């Protein structure tokens, strides 16, 4: 049974924009998530200092301790990211770097949503994120990973997700993530 006082699914947004398509997608994920998943969106990642191995000592910066505890306490992660200059936004890479030595991603079911305003999609950012998460031995739930090209065309003028195909893909991804969370650990 998942603990009701800790978010079962912690959603990380790789964008800091107030009007971010990635944040809008995560809000939709939270709305679409079954109640048993208890999904929530983490506070913006700019609260973390720049990664510096010299600072990665116990007890470490308070914001890093808090972030690590949030990730450790989650049963799964969903990361939504734009693509900047064919790669991952620095703030997201910085956050993931803070998790390398402490190991919170090890074996954690993780899904990616990458979104792009153009029709080419954010495939390079997704590839970079997949490499980073594999290096940290996260349990990538590929059936829950979604790439969203032309993301702005998927919302109506009021900011509601109106693309039935994308809504279905997000629901299917959440179901796959829930199965991964509930699967018995490997022997």
CATH number, domain containing residue 70: 3.40.50.360
The Cα–Cα gap between 143 and 120 comes to 20
The Cα–Cα gap between 49 and 136 comes to 20
Residue 2 domain-assigned (yes or no): no
What is the tens place of the pLDDT at every residue in 57-109? Answer: 988 899 999 999 999 999 999 999 998 888 899 999 999 999 999 999 999 99
Residue 187 has what pLDDT?
60
Residue 116 domain-assigned (yes or no): yes
Residue 38 domain-assigned (yes or no): yes
The pair phi, psi for residue 119, each rounded to 5°, is: -80, -10
> Which tokens sit at 75?
């049963």
136 CB-contact burial (10 Å; exposed 0-12 / middle 13-18 / buried 19+): middle
The Cα–Cα gap between 88 and 91 comes to 8
The pLDDT tens digits along the chain (187 residues) read: 444 444 489 999 999 998 899 999 999 999 999 888 899 999 999 999 999 999 999 888 999 999 999 999 999 999 999 988 888 999 999 999 999 999 999 999 999 999 988 877 778 888 999 999 999 999 999 999 999 999 999 999 988 999 999 999 999 999 999 999 988 766 6
> Which tokens sit at 56?
């990665």
In 3D space, the residue among 107, 96, 104 whose CA is nearest the CA of residue 131 turns out to be 96
Residue 97 domain-assigned (yes or no): yes
| Domain with 101 in it | 9-182
Residue 5 has what pLDDT?
43
The structural domain count of the chain equals 1
Residue 187 domain-assigned (yes or no): no
Residue 48 domain-assigned (yes or no): yes
């Amino acid at each position: 049974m998942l603990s009701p006082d800790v978010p079962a699914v912690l959603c990380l947004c790789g964008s800091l924009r107030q009007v971010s398509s990635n944040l809008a997608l995560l809000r939709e994920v939270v709305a679409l998530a079954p109640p048993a998943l208890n999904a929530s969106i983490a506070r913006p990642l700019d609260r973390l200092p720049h990664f510096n191995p010299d600072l990665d000592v116990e007890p470490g910066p308070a914001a890093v301790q808090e972030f690590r505890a949030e990730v450790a306490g989650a049963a799964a992660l969903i990361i939504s990211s734009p693509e900047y200059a064919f790669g991952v936004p620095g703030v997201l890479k910085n956050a993931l770097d803070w998790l390398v030595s402490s190991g919170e991603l090890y074996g954690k079911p993780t899904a990616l949503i990458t979104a792009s305003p153009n029709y080419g999609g954010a495939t390079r950012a997704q590839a970079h994120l997949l490499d980073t998460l594999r290096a940290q031995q996260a349990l990538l739930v590929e059936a829950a990973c979604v790439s969203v090209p032309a993301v702005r065309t998927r919302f109506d003028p009021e900011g509601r997700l109106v693309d039935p195909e994308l809504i279905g893909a997000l629901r299917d991804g959440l179901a796959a993530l829930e199965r991964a969370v509930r699967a018995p650990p490997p022997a």
